[in-house]
């Protein structure tokens, strides 16, 4: 469904992305891991042209984009197929939770107001926040705000949802709820790319785990192989730095919340 070829990006003299290739099939959940500064976020933002790449190709279904010569129209068309979940939520500060979800439906996608409201309420219900419809972002906790952020992206029914470290700005006790919502989307068969530091989540939910380091994809595999039999020395080192205990613990916490 989505193929990225030789994606490159430079900041000043520093080569952040040295040519990323990636293929994502419909229904795939891809977890993007790597140490900070490895270029994961830059890559994800580059896919949505929020910080456009320097060169490379993006092929999305039958739309082929050469990054260097992408027109505003190309970008608009591409973004219509994408939802984006931001690390720091970026909820519209002047709109309520419901209005945040409606905004894209009514204004961006020209869906009639009544119908949009229904879709938005449905989306909020799914993330368990229907009763917070009239709350402004400043009145929501981080975990709630991010769930609204996910509802906002998912309500537009995009072909793929890009999630940029969706839980890293959250207090630890709020992470589980948000991961639960993402898992739910995965179970529904949504195609997603998730940049994350949550190893247990990547292991449980992802169909494919990609390890990036220093601007390159170093290793990618299905989760069990990826975590249990890492091949490249850099991935081995990366995994060894994350203690097994914390992985187990995290996993437990987030399964537990699914029971509640």
Partner 1 sequence: MNTTFLIHTFWLSISGIPLTILITGAALLLGLPLGFGLAWIKIRKIKVLYPLAVAYTSLIRATPMVLLILLFYSTLPSFLNVIINKHFHLGIKVFDINPVIYAIIVFALIAIANLSEVFRSAILTIDPGQKEAALMVGLSPTQIYRRIIIPQALVSAIPNIGNLTLNILKGTSLAFMMAVPEITAVAKTAASYTYNYTEAYIDIFVIYFILGAILQVIFKFLERYLGRHKLKRTA
Half-sphere exposure at residue 188, Cβ-oriented, CA atoms within 13 angstroms: 14
Contacting range for partner 1; rule: CB under 8 A; set: 119-127, 152-160, 188-196, 232-240: 152-160
Q: Select from 92, 122, 169, 257 the one that contacts partner 1 (CB under 8 A).
A: 92
Burial class (CB in 10 A: 0-12, 13-18, 19+), 163: buried
| 8 A C-beta contact, residue 197 and residue 212 | no
Nearer to partner 1, 1 or 50 (CB): 50
Contacting range for partner 1; rule: CB under 8 A; set: 10-18, 123-131, 145-153, 217-225: 145-153
Contacting range for partner 1; rule: CB under 8 A; set: 5-13, 28-36, 95-103, 177-185: 95-103
Query: Taking CB under 8 A as the rule, does residue 136 contact partner 1?
Result: yes
Q: Select from 36, 68, 88, 249 the one that contacts partner 1 (CB under 8 A).
A: 88
Least distance in angstroms from the C-beta of 218 to partner 1: 28
Q: Select from 13, 69, 73, 138 the one that contacts partner 1 (CB under 8 A).
A: 138
Four-CA torsion 31, 33, 38, 43, nearest 10 degrees: 10
Query: Taking CB under 8 A as the rule, does residue 193 contact partner 1?
Result: no
What are residue 228's phi and psi, to 5 degrees? -90, -30
Least distance in angstroms from the C-beta of 130 to partner 1: 16
Binding mask 31-60 for partner 1 (x = CB under 8 A): -----------------x-x----------
Binding mask 198-237 for partner 1 (x = CB under 8 A): ----------------------------------------
Q: Select from 103, 159, 204, 255 the one that contacts partner 1 (CB under 8 A).
A: 103
Query: Taking CB under 8 A as the rule, does residue 68 contact partner 1?
Result: no
* Contacts with partner 1, residue ranges (CB under 8 A): 48, 50, 76, 79-80, 82-84, 86, 88, 90-96, 103-104, 107-109, 136-141, 149, 152-153, 156
């Amino acid at each position: 469904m989505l193929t990225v070829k030789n994606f490159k990006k430079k900041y000043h003299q520093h080569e952040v992305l040295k040519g990323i290739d990636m293929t994502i099939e419909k229904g795939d959940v891809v977890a993007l891991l790597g140490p900070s500064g490895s270029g994961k976020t830059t890559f994800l933002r580059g896919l949505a042209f929020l910080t456009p790449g320097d060169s490379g190709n993006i092929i999305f279904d039958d739309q082929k984009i050469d990054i260097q010569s992408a027109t505003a129209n190309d970008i608009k068309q591409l973004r219509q197929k994408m939802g984006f979940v931001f690390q720091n939520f970026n909820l519209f500060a002047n709109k309520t939770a419901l209005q945040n979800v409606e905004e894209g439906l009514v204004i961006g996608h020209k869906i009639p107001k009544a119908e949009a409201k229904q879709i938005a309420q449905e989306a909020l219900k799914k993330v368990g926040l229907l009763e917070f419809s009239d709350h402004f972002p400043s009145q929501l906790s981080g975990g709630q705000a991010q769930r609204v952020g996910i509802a906002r992206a998912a309500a537009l029914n995009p072909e793929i949802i890009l999630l940029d470290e969706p839980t890293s700005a959250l207090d630890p006790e709020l992470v589980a709820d948000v991961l639960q919502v993402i898992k739910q989307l995965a179970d529904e068969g949504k195609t997603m790319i998730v940049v994350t530091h949550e190893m247990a989540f990547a292991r449980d939910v992802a169909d494919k785990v990609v390890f990036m380091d220093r601007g390159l994809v170093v290793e990618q595999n299905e989760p069990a192989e990826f975590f249990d039999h890492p091949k490249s020395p850099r991935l081995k080192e990366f995994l060894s730095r994350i203690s097994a205990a914390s992985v187990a613990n995290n996993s437990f916490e987030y399964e537990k919340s699914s029971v509640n």
